[in-house]
Amino acid sequence: MSSTAPEDRPTVQLLHELPDGSAHVDWMLATDPQGERPLITFRLPGRVDELESGQVMEAHRIVDHRPAYLTYEGPVSGDRGTVRRLRGGVVRTIEHGEETWSVEVLWEEGGGAQIRQRLRIEQRGAVSRIVAENA
């Protein structure tokens, strides 16, 4: 696993409500500090910011999304439902290998406060695992 220099990049979790009444969370991570390039996107069954140390969540890596989703809320084109922002923040890569990333996320909290979370993302083909570690 190779270390990389820390660099903060925007991240966001969106609740994606589909026309059939089902919903999931899309977690999007910018690949550049300005959030101008396509966003790495995972489809999750729940909120990643609510994972506690030692908990694991299954994640599906889906097609990268447009950077506009860092701030967008509303209808999704093609009658694919709506998205609503759950929480944003910044992510910093601690270590990155071919199949595993360690990241630190600073989630926005009211009043300018932040919640620090350390996560390990284990990519295993289409299905990945997100493991919450101690901050």
**Structural domains counted in the chain:** 1
Provide the domain limits for residue 94.
2-133
pLDDT digits (tens, 9 = 90+) for 46-104: 999 999 999 999 999 999 999 999 999 999 999 999 999 999 999 998 788 888 989 99
Handedness of CA 57, 54, 133, 12 (dihedral sign): positive
Retrieve residue 35's tokens.
């959030």
CA distance 108 to 88: 6
Q: Are 93 and 72 in contact (CB under 8 A)?
A: no
Helical segments of the chain, H only: none
CA distance 135 to 121: 15
pLDDT digits (tens, 9 = 90+) for 5-33: 468 999 999 999 999 999 999 999 999 99
pTM beyond 0.85: the answer is: yes
